[in-house]
Amino acid sequence: MTRTDEILFELPERHVRLREEAAALAASVAHLAAEADEADAIDPGMRAALAASGLAAVCVPAAYGGRYEHVDSLAVAVVREQLAAESAHLDSLFAMQGIGSYALTRGGTPEVRERWLPRVAALDAIAALGLTEPGIGSDLRGTATTITEDGGELVIDGHKSFITNGGDADFYCVLGKEDAGLSMVLVPADAPGLTTGRPHQIIAPHVLGDVVLDGVRVPRSHRLGEPGAGMRLGLATLATFRVSVAAAAVGTAQAALREAVAHTTGREQFGRPLIQLGAVAGQLARSWTEIEAARAFTYRAAAAASRDPLGSLHLSSMAKVAATETAGRVVDRCVQVMGRFGLVRGSKIERLYRAARPMRIYEGATEVILDSLARKLAKELSV
Ligand SMILES: Cc1cc2nc3c(=O)[nH]c(=O)nc-3n(C[C@H](O)[C@H](O)[C@H](O)COP(=O)(O)OP(=O)(O)OC[C@H]3O[C@@H](n4cnc5c(N)ncnc54)[C@H](O)[C@@H]3O)c2cc1C
């Protein structure tokens, strides 16, 4: 398929090389993807391959063993696009090393950063972010988990739910409330009082766990940022990583289109390849058009996020909505033009179809993002 990404947005040279590295990693684990994408625990083969590639270092700053001076949204996006096209499991494993550790990168004491971040970069330690609770999702203001100071330690009580890497992580950056507001604290997975379970699984299997914190005690040095800085750290994480969900969605949609084109050029009905039947051709061409639009905007928003994450959060949010909604439409059309072959369990197109669905919900559901964009729009237009 024509490479239009270079025509519409010229990636810096180092990102072009990075994309090649990520594509090579994805190709090297293609044989593991079907099994890993059905797993509810981290696949050891995927983990070993990602560790050997050194790509997890993209998620950590250079001062702590990372690849670049700062975590670079465009670099994360370029990698996720390639990995998601092959395996949602691999994409999540990569992305969570950044999403799960960024509050630590931004708010950790030098000693706690030094202890964990080099291990995150090398994939020796698995990171996780605990915001969601059984009763709390999009609106984190009602967080019920508590953090209390007691004798130079922090005591954490609560229940975090739907946590990616829950059960397999080595530490959790946990949001909880205290007098100063919502705060974030790093909790090692082996802290007494922390237990995990896997009560939920979703349509596109994911490493998901619930984490129960029952009187868990950590040293005060495990607080991330100031007391009350929890939402700021959460926002900083979104500002750097939300646009990478858009890139994963572009990769997913592109892979689905590739499957659909291969199928519809190879199969004939009514005396012609399917791709020459008007309705099929239209669906595929429309999908291609929408993918190119989503990719071009995603790269531009990611480049803006690399320069000024918070200042361009509205662009990252738009890219996330545009690309994930595009992926939802594209995978659906691709299944349709492949007929019954698009429905076969275990086929790549079926995996991509399921993988696209959760993207419209996590890291800001489409409607939640549109709601906050509308508020920004009203404010900007009224001045
Ligand atoms: C695969 C996966 C991985 C996840 N990983 C993590 C993780 O690692 N860490 C973590 O903390 N959480 C994680 N989550 C949870 C995720 O962050 C939440 O699912 C998400 O924040 C939405 O919350 P909710 O599901 O409770 O939906 P709710 O908040 O109950 O919202 C339900 C729906 O209501 C609508 N809605 C809600 N608010 C508004 C609004 N203001 N305006 C308009 N419409 C609205 C939207 O359509 C939304 O989808 C994960 C979820 C999934 C599916």
Q: What is the pLDDT of residues 186-216, one digit of tens each?
A: 999 999 999 999 999 999 999 999 999 999 9
Residue nearest to atom 17 of ligand 1 (CA): 362
206 C-beta closer than 6 A to ligand 1: yes
What domains lie within the chain, and their CATH numbers?
5-121 (1.10.540.10), 127-226 (2.40.110.10), 231-381 (1.20.140.10)
Q: What is the pLDDT of residues 157-170, one digit of tens each?
A: 999 999 999 999 99
362 C-beta closer than 6 A to ligand 1: yes
Structure-block tokens of residue 373: 């964009």
Question: CA–CA separation, 327 vs 308, rounded Å?
Answer: 26
CB 216 within 8 A of CB 157: yes
Beta bridge partners of 185: 174, 223
Task: Quote the ligand 1 centre to 53 CA distance (angstroms).
Answer: 32
Composition of the chain by helix, strand, coil, percent to 5: 60, 15, 25
Task: Quote the ligand 1 centre to 136 CA distance (angstroms).
Answer: 9
The predicted model gives 53-77 an average pLDDT of 98
CB 79 within 8 A of CB 94: yes
Q: Which residue has the tokens 């949602």?
A: 88
Confidence at residue 7, expressed as pLDDT on a 0 to 100 scale: 78
Confidence at residue 1, expressed as pLDDT on a 0 to 100 scale: 45
Confidence at residue 3, expressed as pLDDT on a 0 to 100 scale: 58
138 C-beta closer than 6 A to ligand 1: yes
The predicted model gives 114-126 an average pLDDT of 98
For residue 95, give the nearest of 207, 241, 243, 304 by alpha carbon. Answer: 241
Structure-block tokens of residue 133: 């609770």
Structure-derived torsion over alpha carbons of residues 49, 173, 105, 57, reported in degrees to the nearest 10:
0
Question: CA–CA separation, 279 vs 286, rounded Å?
Answer: 11
Q: pLDDT exceeding 90 applies to what percent of the chain?
A: 96
Contacting residues for 7 by C-beta, under 8 A, at least 6 apart: none
Question: CA–CA separation, 302 vs 70, rounded Å?
Answer: 14
Confidence at residue 6, expressed as pLDDT on a 0 to 100 scale: 64
Confidence at residue 5, expressed as pLDDT on a 0 to 100 scale: 60
Q: What separation in angstroms does the CA of 378 have from each of 138, 365, 371, 373, 374?
A: 21, 20, 11, 9, 6
Question: CA–CA separation, 299 vs 11, rounded Å?
Answer: 8
Task: Quote the ligand 1 centre to 181 CA distance (angstroms).
Answer: 21
Q: Sign of the CA dihedral 14, 17, 22, 25?
A: negative
Task: Quote the ligand 1 centre to 84 CA distance (angstroms).
Answer: 21
Centroid of chain to Cα 258: 22
* Residue 139 pLDDT exceeds 60: yes
What is the pLDDT of the chain when averaged over all its residues?
97
The predicted model gives 340-354 an average pLDDT of 97
Contacting residues for 191 by C-beta, under 8 A, at least 6 apart: 216, 217, 218
Structure-derived torsion over alpha carbons of residues 185, 305, 90, 349, reported in degrees to the nearest 10:
130
Q: What is the pLDDT of residues 307-344, one digit of tens each?
A: 999 999 999 999 999 999 999 999 999 999 999 999 99
CB 95 within 8 A of CB 76: yes
Q: pLDDT exceeding 70 applies to what percent of the chain?
A: 98
Confidence at residue 4, expressed as pLDDT on a 0 to 100 scale: 60
The predicted model gives 231-256 an average pLDDT of 98
Q: Is 146 exposed, middle or buried (0-12, 13-18, 19+ CB in 10 A)?
A: middle
371 C-beta closer than 6 A to ligand 1: yes
Q: Which atom of ligand 1 is nearest to the CA of 165?
A: 8
Q: Which amino acid is at 271?
A: G
Backbone dihedral angles phi then psi of residue 228, each to the nearest 5 degrees: 90, 0
Question: CA–CA separation, 315 vs 373, rounded Å?
Answer: 9
Q: What is the pLDDT of residues 246-297, one digit of tens each?
A: 999 999 999 999 999 999 999 999 999 999 999 999 999 999 999 999 999 9
Residue nearest to atom 47 of ligand 1 (CA): 367
Residue of 362, 369, 371 to mutate, ligand 1, most atoms within 8 A of C-beta:
362
DSSP 228: T
Question: CA–CA separation, 190 vs 344, rounded Å?
Answer: 41
Structure-block tokens of residue 277: 């039947």
Banded model confidence at residue 383, pLDDT cuts 50, 70, 90: low
* Residue 122 pLDDT exceeds 90: yes
The predicted model gives 105-127 an average pLDDT of 98
Packed helices 73-86 and 88-99: angle between N→C axes, nearest 10 degrees: 160
Q: Sign of the CA dihedral 222, 227, 230, 233?
A: negative
